[in-house]
Amino acid sequence: MTVAYRRILLKLSGEALMGDDDYGISRDMLARIVAEIAEIRALGVEVGVVIGGGNIFRGVAGGAAGMDRATADYMGMLATVMNALALGDAMRQAGVAARVQSALSIEPVVEFYIRGKSIRYLEEGKVVIFAAGTGNPFFTTDTAAALRGREIEAEVVLKATKVDGVYSADPMKDKSATRYDRISFDEAISRDLKVMDATALALCRDQQLPIKVFSIFKPGALKRVVLGEDEGTLVHI
């Protein structure tokens, strides 16, 4: 079975781990995501994962109202570490070799991010889970995905969302919205289509790193993407 990509960076939002819950981690959803990642690993695809923390941080968001932005961002980074540890543990239980690396130095808990180690782990067939975003406040995990994707020399950033691609308008509000099969970075930016934040989009564009947006809630969608099938939206130069 021929794959379209040999090395990918998968961007998982924290919300993807919630399933139907209001916040926290759905064990069923976590197990399904792990199974889909294991499936593409079995095809020989090298997988890096950047994970968000919105599902955890949502539970304390009320208390964060009015908080200093940098402090709130560091709290969000810690939420991504929690998600990364949960994902890494679920992979271990499923028999998938994985390593968690954090952009924040909390080495008694998780390994500190070192680019050379990440690439070596990928070459050894391990899934590498990147936590704590870029390690800096004011930058989103979308930007972390663009940065880590370029650093590990991924061929594409796969953004796994609740929506099955990039639309001309919000499909939840506008039933006439149409899904793009392909769209350029410049078009996405000029039309403010919310593929990723502007910093992440600009970084991917400048580094000629394409983005594929698809729904992680569609069973088998991740495999179809790496096989090059008609799934989601490709954002390209």
Is 161 among the annotated ligand-binding positions?
yes
Is 121 among the annotated ligand-binding positions?
no
Is 135 among the annotated ligand-binding positions?
yes
Is 11 among the annotated ligand-binding positions?
yes
Is 197 among the annotated ligand-binding positions?
no
For residue 9, give the nearest of 46, 36, 41 by alpha carbon.
Answer: 46
Q: Which helix (H) or strand (E) holds 213?
A: strand 211-215
- CA pair distance 165, 94, nearest whole angstrom: 29
Is 209 among the annotated ligand-binding positions?
no
What phi and psi, each to the nearest 5 degrees, are found at residue 19? 65, -125
- CA pair distance 14, 72, nearest whole angstrom: 16
Is 136 among the annotated ligand-binding positions?
yes
Is 63 among the annotated ligand-binding positions?
no
Is 138 among the annotated ligand-binding positions?
yes
Is 88 among the annotated ligand-binding positions?
no
Is 170 among the annotated ligand-binding positions?
yes
Is 20 among the annotated ligand-binding positions?
no
Is 69 among the annotated ligand-binding positions?
no
Is 233 among the annotated ligand-binding positions?
no
Is 55 among the annotated ligand-binding positions?
no
Is 137 among the annotated ligand-binding positions?
yes
Cβ atoms of 185 and 204 within 8 Å: the answer is yes
Give the side-chain half-sphere CA count within 13 A for 101.
Answer: 24
- Reduce the DSSP state of residue 102 to 3 states and report it: strand
Is 58 among the annotated ligand-binding positions?
yes
Cβ neighbors of 186 (< 8 A, separation 6 or more) are 205
Q: Which residues are annotated as part of the binding site for ATP?
A: 11-14, 54, 58, 161, 167, 170
Q: Which residues are annotated as part of the binding site for UMP?
A: 53, 73, 134-141
Q: Which residues are annotated as part of the binding site?
A: 11-14, 53-54, 58, 73, 134-141, 161, 167, 170
